[in-house]
A and B are shown apart, each in its own frame.
Chain A
Amino acid sequence: MRTNIFWISVFIGPALILLLIFLIIPIFASLYLSLTDFNVFALTDWSRAKFIGFRNFYELFQDELFWKALFNTFYCLIVAMPVTVTLSLLNAVLLNREQTRFKNFFKICFFLPFVTNTVAIAIVWSWILNPSYGILNWFLGLLGIKGPNWLGDPKWAMPSIIMLVVWKAVGYNTLLLLAGLQNIPDFLYEAAELDGASSWQKFWYITLPMLRPTMLFITTMMIIGYLQLFEEPYMLTQGGPLNSTLSVVLYLYRQGFKFFKLGYASSIAVVLFLMIAALTLLRLKLSKQD
């Protein structure tokens, strides 16, 4: 039976109107804005923004700071992703063992950082990472290691940020992988045992291949999430020292909402979108080839 148009509009209408105003039209508006020189003067009078074609993009690709931001963002992605996956997988496998005790306690502990406000916990981390009074360097000192000036040293600032990023993400991914592990049917392991497979062989030839759908999901989410790195560098370093932690979104925020170069900032947003879309599609393609 076809539903009449009245009820369709009552049920879909409100959501659709909001999506149009706050999502779908803005996507196209953003594409257009990226082709204009919309700046602080246009803020009060929109007609002052001129159409300038691809000049923003042309400028962007010659902007050293943008390249720096791009480099830093990928640095974070390329280091944080494998570390997150490895730690989460280790935790998930250990939690999935029948003999492991206090499972719920561990699950709750691991998950806490994920529900925690990033801004607030970043403040706590900057105190932990304090070179003279922080507990991290105190702890390293106990082991006889002289800890670096974490957030003040261009070499160590990005690793510090990655530490916070991984710390926040491990619990969520552990739970997803654990759900994936629990979906692997027992008979596969039983059959392998009959054939005399070792624990390593079972892990390598059963667990990992069977986890592929979950892996695909978590790595895709990580690509999308880590490329949008913002709150951690905003709070911990403001992009410094020497722009060593300037991320793409932090640069977008600066250009857009500190200097109000909204046209230029929109072109950064468009590039970010294209990168996320390309990498996501690439990731999906790679998984189909397997």
Chain B
Amino acid sequence: MRKSNVFLQIVVHAILLIGAFTMLLPFMWMVSTSFKPSSEIYVFPPRWIPKNPTLKNYVDLFSSINFGRPFLNTVIVASSITFLSVLLSSMAGYAFAKFRFKGRDKLFFLILATLMVPGQMTMIPVFLLLRYLGLLNTYTGLILPGAVSVFNIFFMRQFIITIPNDLIEAARIDGARESYIFFKIILPLSKPALTTISIFTFTGSWNSFLWPLIIAQDERMYTLPVAVSVLAGQYGENIAIQMAGSCIVITPILIFFLFAQRYFIKGIALTGLKG
């Protein structure tokens, strides 16, 4: 009996370790290659630890290829989208949860129904509109279409609806304005939900690719994913510099994830169960 338990423990952990290793391996290979001088790339068998590690690839990225600009663009775009989307979605979520007006539930259902529509369907008309307004290759064009999200509105409404009405009514009787109620009562009580949507919106817009690919045709407006995809095309042979570029795109979110992993993992369970 005891023996079979030990055996089972070993098998279970071996399977999980193989899984975890498969997940980590590409990252390790990426980091290792990004520090290799060009002489060590095409070597067989593969060398896991570079013999003469170098920072040249990273230096090249920021000096001759100017990766700083797309980095800055991505920070600006992702933070603005997160700020706007969280603010506007929680405002709308509050109204849908706690205001009473005619047609409220119909309107909410209509908005919710758009979740079934894939982004590619709205992409072409929005592209034409932004082009017409001269907003291609601008921050406004990159940010505005992402500034509100149906999922975030839905998520915030579901959360705010659980806040007791008495709290709000009491404040109203004391003569508090709706803006006061929203910022001083609703938002502080919604912190877990706000954290969840902030994290997911930021990660999502940092990683977003198809939309910036279409909107940012000018090199100066590239975001990191677009810049790194162009890099792969232009420096097809120079694997090390591509790995360094990938590292720059991936690492900030990974660090962010490692610090906030508690909230990520809680958020996943939350979003899944709600859906």
Choose one: B20, B25, B232; the contact of A235 (CB below 8 Å): B232
Mask: chain B, 119-149; 1 = CB below 8 Å from A; 0 = not: 1111111111101000000000000110110
Choose one: A7, A111, A112, A127; the contact of B99 (CB below 8 Å): A7
Interface residue ranges of A100-118 to B (CB < 8 Å): 100-102, 105-113, 115-118
Please classify how large the interface on chain A is, using the bins under 10, 10 to 19, 20 to 34, 35 or more.
35 or more
Mask: chain B, 233-249; 1 = CB below 8 Å from A; 0 = not: 00000010011011101
Contact A228 B120 (CB under 8 A): yes
B residues within 8 A CB of A123? Answer: 228, 232, 242-243, 245-246
Decide if A285 is an interface residue (CB 8 Å cutoff). no
A residues within 8 A CB of B114? Answer: 19, 23-24, 27
A residues within 8 A CB of B261? Answer: 108, 111
Choose one: A1, A224, A270, A273; the contact of B172 (CB below 8 Å): A1
B residues within 8 A CB of A30? Answer: 121-122, 124-125
Task: Look across to chain A and name the residue whose beta carbon is closest to the beta carbon of B45.
Answer: A138
* A98–chain B nearest beta-carbon distance, Å: 11
Contact A27 B273 (CB under 8 A): no
Task: Look across to chain B and name the residue whose beta carbon is closest to the beta carbon of A248.
Answer: B120
Decide if A25 is an interface residue (CB 8 Å cutoff). yes
Mask: chain A, 1-25; 1 = CB below 8 Å from B; 0 = not: 1110101101110111011011111
Contact A15 B92 (CB under 8 A): yes
Contact B20 A262 (CB under 8 A): no
* A277–chain B nearest beta-carbon distance, Å: 6
A residues within 8 A CB of B127? Answer: 257
Contact A276 B116 (CB under 8 A): yes
Decide if B62 is an interface residue (CB 8 Å cutoff). no
Contact B16 A100 (CB under 8 A): yes
Mask: chain B, 37-67; 1 = CB below 8 Å from A; 0 = not: 0000111111000000000000000000000
Q: How far is the CA of A178 from the CA of B265 in the complex (A)?
A: 11
Contact A15 B89 (CB under 8 A): yes
Q: How far is the CA of A33 from the CA of B125 in the complex (A)?
A: 8
Stretch at the interface among A53-61, A128-136, A153-161, A188-196: A128-136
Decide if B178 is an interface residue (CB 8 Å cutoff). yes
Stretch at the interface among A67-75, A168-176, A202-210: A168-176
Decide if A288 is an interface residue (CB 8 Å cutoff). no
Decide: A175 near B269, CB < 8 A? Known: A3-B100, A105-B20. Answer: yes
B residues within 8 A CB of A252? Answer: 120
Task: Look across to chain A and name the residue whose beta carbon is closest to the beta carbon of B207.
Answer: A117
* A230–chain B nearest beta-carbon distance, Å: 6
A residues within 8 A CB of B12? Answer: 94, 97, 99-100
Q: How far is the CA of A43 from the CA of B275 in the complex (A)?
A: 40
* A203–chain B nearest beta-carbon distance, Å: 14
Decide if A65 is an interface residue (CB 8 Å cutoff). no
Contact A265 B124 (CB under 8 A): yes
Q: How far is the CA of A117 from the CA of B111 in the complex (A)?
A: 29
Contact A171 B23 (CB under 8 A): yes
A residues within 8 A CB of B250? Answer: 116-117, 120-121
Q: Which of A14, A22, A94, A257 has the most CB of B within 10 A?
A: A22
B residues within 8 A CB of A23? Answer: 114, 117, 122, 150
Choose one: A2, A27, A95; the contact of B101 (CB below 8 Å): A2
Contact B100 A128 (CB under 8 A): no
Q: How far is the CA of A91 from the CA of B15 in the complex (A)?
A: 8
Mask: chain B, 95-122; 1 = CB below 8 Å from A; 0 = not: 1100111000000000100101111111
* B113–chain A nearest beta-carbon distance, Å: 10
Task: Look across to chain B and name the residue whose beta carbon is closest to the beta carbon of A164.
Answer: B26
Q: How far is the CA of A94 from the CA of B17 in the complex (A)?
A: 11
Q: How far is the CA of A277 from the CA of B115 in the complex (A)?
A: 10
Contact A18 B88 (CB under 8 A): yes
Decide: A12 near B19, CB < 8 A? Known: A27-B122, A119-B225. Answer: no
A-B contact pairs, 10 of them (CB 8 A): A18-B147, A112-B27, A116-B27, A119-B209, A121-B250, A127-B242, A218-B272, A228-B119, A256-B124, A277-B116
Q: Which residues of A contact B (CB under 8 A)?
A: 1-3, 5, 7-8, 10-12, 14-16, 18-19, 21-27, 29-30, 33, 43, 46, 87, 90-91, 94-95, 97, 99-102, 105-113, 115-121, 123-128, 132-133, 135, 138, 167, 170-172, 175-176, 178-180, 183, 214, 217-218, 221, 224, 227-228, 230-231, 234-235, 249, 252-253, 256-257, 262, 265-266, 269-270, 272-273, 276-277, 280
Q: Assuming A94-B12, A175-B268, A280-B116, what are 9 further A-B pairs, CB within 8 angstroms? A: A3-B178, A11-B94, A14-B88, A15-B153, A115-B254, A121-B26, A125-B26, A170-B23, A262-B128
The 5 A-B pairs of least Cβ separation, nearest first, read A29-B125, A179-B269, A120-B246, A26-B125, A109-B20
